[in-house]
Amino acid sequence: MTCLLCDKALDDQPTWQHFLGIQKDMSACPICLEKFERIDHVIEDDVLDSVHSLYAYNEAAKEYLHQFKFMQDIALAQIFATSLRSVLNDSKKIIVPIPMHPINKRKRTFSQVDALLEAAKIPYQSLLEKTTESVMGEKSRSERLAMTELFRVTADICSNEAVYVLVDDIYTTGTTLRHAAEALKQRGVQRVEAVTLFRPIREK
Amino acid sequence: MSERDQLKQFLAGRIWLRHLLPFPQETVDEAIRQGDIHIEQGVTTKKTWHGTHYACQRCHNENPTRFTVFACAQCEAPCAYCRNCLNMGRVSCCSELLTWTGTPPAFPTDHRMNWQGNLTPSQEKATRELLDSTIQGISHLLYAVCGSGKTEMLFQPIHYVLNEGKRVCLAAPRVDVILELLPRLTTAFPDTRVEALYGGAEVKHFDAQLILATTHQLYRFHKAFDAVFVDEADAFPYTADETLQRAVRKAVKPNAPIHFVTATPSSQLLAMNKKQGKISILARRYHGQPLPVPRNEALWNYEKQLKKKRIPEKLLRWTTERLDKQQPFLIFFHQIELMELAEPLFQKLDERICAVHAEHDDRKERVQLLRQKETPGLLTTTILERGITIPNVQVAVVGAEQTIFNKGALIQIGGRVGRSVPNTSGDFVLFHQGITRAMDEAKREIRKLNDTEVPQ
């Protein structure tokens, strides 16, 4: 096996732990993984009951998302499988990925959030549908804040008491997540949390 | 020139993803309708008894671990893509690769060669042999020691192919080599369309007749060249990566020759050319002096000592001697981590000493500093093993027993020493903890080349 990020051969000496299935296969080498800075940043606001961001959006994260989303390297979803699973392992919570517009999804050939969850083997429900084709990354801050409804709830909400967890790849202004949370809350959901893989942090 | 002619010049000899073609869709569609373009599935699948076998039609990768299968939203089926050539745009089962099958473009046949250098008698002989093989269409191995003036020997054969109105490619595994060759070839062929292709470079001249490319870029060519010269044919990753070797074979037209140029041919390369082609050996440097023979010096527990923030005694003595005599030096390490550990220790001796490795963007500048004597010496990984000339440089290898220092690497490293007049020799020391076969073989090979009779 080689590292998914740097293509160098992984040090995969056979061990008893591996043979017994305790130790999992590595997908990236320790040197590459070290470049991702774990922050576990949690915030709250009026719509979102909590937003948990796992990693800092640093140079390595930028490169990662570029290769994953724009070079369409879906294999990279595997890299954060373990860390996503560890924060999304509560089976009582309902996991809802932030969707892509169907046209954009066809262009990219996959939806990155779905791919991340599938790689982590986390069951999820696609309750939302994106109503506009426009992409957040191409907008200025004021444009983002002025947007009207972005998401529609497509399926029935079966239980209002359950906790819903939105999942997205990156938190920037929070507009996307707030819109998605509002759409769910309008349908009577009590508590909406969110988990994002990356979040930019200010340099100290 | 019409857009259609441009499309022809661009696509002829190339294999390109349809959605990445730099042309409007209508132009491409029109050419397809007229039967000038062949469409191919990006990744082909074949069912076998032990699963599905995938093959990338661009880079000819067939290694199952280099494919990823996923549920594709475009073709709405399980789809595989190739990770081997991913950075040139993803090729998957549902992507289309285009090749030009219409009339080929014509190239000029009157090229001026602007080069008045003198070749030594042995260079002269090798050039003539290489030219003969090119005319006959036979593959040729030019086995010439480090510092024998290899590039100059390629000019005449390249000139010949260009004047036939044919396309030539000069390929090398490393970008550094390509960037170094480019100015030399543009001055040698001032009227010829020359283009350098490497990772991150855009195709600018669609009608380039002489193409300099990293071997990776040849993934994107298909029956394009009437001759390919592979420079530094033994360099990493070319020898280690079979798809690169296939890429070279794919890039030439059927029956066109592939020439290899190297100072350290692998036994495989030698055997191949003995069987199917011809070999010219150039055992002497252009200045006629012998190659420096390595000197072995035991250096036990160097790793442990460096970790304890101490430069091993012998290495320290060697370095201070270089500093006292004001000789520029290179110290090779097998591992970036170890080198970075050693960097501050060496900086205590002289704070201008610095380290160079592949991820440094300014490595060119640092080497330049060494040439200008702004810095007394550099610590480096094998990245500087070839292609650089520094007058009067002295070389040490720390951990010469490491597997990364194979025979070829050691000969190349030694090839940095004594390249230019008047400093035609110098110290080449291998610090080791146990002599390996590679070290012995390198020494034997250097001695053998030095003993070879040369025509005067």
Angle, CA of B418, B419 and B423, to the nearest 5°: 45
Domain harbouring B239, CATH code? 3.40.50.300
With tokens 């070879």, the residue in question is B452
Residue B349: its pLDDT value, please? 92
B105 in a structural domain: no
Least confidently predicted of A164-178, B96-110, B382-396: B382-396
Q: Tell me whether the omega of the peptide bond preceding residue B237 falls within 30 degrees of 0, making it cis.
A: yes
Write down which residue in B220, B248, B282 finishes a domain: B282
Q: What is the mean pLDDT of residues B124-146?
A: 91
**B244 shares its domain with B338:** no
DSSP-derived letter for residue A21 is T
Q: What is the mean pLDDT of chain B?
A: 90
Judge whether residue B268 has pLDDT over 90: no
Residue A143: its pLDDT value, please? 75
Question: Between B65, B79, B86, which is nearest A73 by CB?
Answer: B86
**B246 shares its domain with B377:** no
Residue B455: its pLDDT value, please? 58
- CA–CA distance from B95 to each of A105, B75, B83 (Å)? 15, 9, 14
Domain harbouring A158, CATH code? 3.40.50
pLDDT band at B454 (very low <50, low <70, confident <90, very high): low
Note whether B73 contacts A72, CB cutoff 8 Å: no
Note whether A109 contacts B83, CB cutoff 8 Å: no
Question: Furthest-apart CA pair in chain B: how many Å?
Answer: 74
**B274 shares its domain with B170:** yes
**B264 shares its domain with B311:** no
Residue B383: its pLDDT value, please? 84
The helix/strand/coil state of B164 is coil
Percent of chain B scored above 70 by pLDDT?
99
**B89 shares its domain with B136:** no
Residue of A nearest to B88 (CA): A71
pLDDT in tens, B61-96: 999 999 999 999 998 889 999 999 998 999 999 999
**B204 shares its domain with B318:** no
Nearest CA to A97 out of A83, A121, A117 is that of A117
Q: How far is B78 from chain A (nearest CA, A)?
A: 11
Residue A142: its pLDDT value, please? 77
A20 in a structural domain: no
B441 in a structural domain: yes
Contacts of B73 in chain A (CB under 8 A): 105-106, 108-111
Note whether A109 contacts B72, CB cutoff 8 Å: yes
Residue A204: its pLDDT value, please? 46
Q: What is the mean pLDDT of residues B336-344?
A: 92
B433 in a structural domain: yes
A128 in a structural domain: yes
pLDDT in tens, B298-329: 999 999 999 999 999 999 999 999 999 999 99
pLDDT in tens, B19-52: 999 999 999 999 999 999 999 999 999 999 888 9
Residue A203: its pLDDT value, please? 57
A44 in a structural domain: yes
Judge whether residue B277 has pLDDT over 50: yes
**B317 shares its domain with B251:** no
**B270 shares its domain with B352:** no
pLDDT in tens, B350-368: 999 999 887 777 777 888 8
B111 in a structural domain: no
User: Mean pLDDT, 10 residues at a time, over chain A (204 residues)?
Assistant: 84 79 80 92 89 95 95 94 91 92 92 94 92 76 74 82 92 90 90 94 66
Q: What are phi and psi of A74, to 5 degrees?
A: -65, -20
pLDDT in tens, B240-257: 888 999 999 999 999 899
**B351 shares its domain with B397:** yes
Q: Does A126 touch chain B (CB under 8 A)?
A: no
Q: How far is B325 from chain A (nearest CA, A)?
A: 39
Residue B264: its pLDDT value, please? 87
Judge whether residue B293 has pLDDT over 60: yes
User: And the tokens for B432?
Assistant: 């080791």
A23 in a structural domain: no
pLDDT band at B278 (very low <50, low <70, confident <90, very high): confident
**B273 shares its domain with B310:** no
- Is B54 or B204 the better-scoring residue by pLDDT? B54
Domain count, chain A: 1
Domain containing B15 equals: 3-100
Contacts of A71 in chain B (CB under 8 A): 86-87, 89-90
**B226 shares its domain with B339:** no
Domain count, chain B: 3
| Residues belonging to chain B | 456
Contacts of A74 in chain B (CB under 8 A): 68, 70, 81
A11 in a structural domain: no
**B309 shares its domain with B421:** yes
Residue B456: its pLDDT value, please? 54
Domain containing A192 equals: 37-199
How far apart are the C-alpha atoms of B377 and B374, rounded to whole Å? 9
